[in-house]
Amino acid sequence: MKRFSLSRRERITSTQEFRSSLNKSAFYVGKSLKIGVSRNGLDVSRIGVSMRRENFRLAVTRNKLRRYAREAFRLNKESISRGYDIIIMPRAQAASLDYDKFREDFICAAGKADIVKG
């Protein structure tokens, strides 16, 4: 089960790292989310989630989308190339999606970014 965990190394934790990664990112758009992808110089890919309170008024919705994003990354990290920072920014229409549609959109956007193996 170890390979399916999401360790601290696989998350962008500090504000400075988050801003640096966001400034260097190339952005790719899916139907309900936008991802920013940049190289991080590490042997592991990391994830960060950013969303505006204006788009998602309820904390319940923001937390649900944050969980969806982390889970989509966690279950697909074996197929994502190493050495990237990935910042997921859900759009307003993501609030009405279920997990499966959110995951499909994440994989589609990651495919556009050319960071998916095979």
Which CATH code for domain 14-109? Answer: 3.30.230.10
Domain ranges across the chain: 14-109
The angle subtended at Cα 114 by Cα 90 and Cα 32, nearest 5°, is 20
Residue 7 is predicted with a pLDDT of: 86
pLDDT in tens, the chain (118 residues): 455 678 889 999 899 999 999 999 999 998 999 999 999 989 999 999 999 898 899 999 999 999 999 999 999 988 999 999 999 999 999 999 999 999 999 999 999 999 988 6
Residue 117 is predicted with a pLDDT of: 82
10 Å CB burial of residue 36 (0-12, 13-18, 19+) is buried
Residue 24 is predicted with a pLDDT of: 92
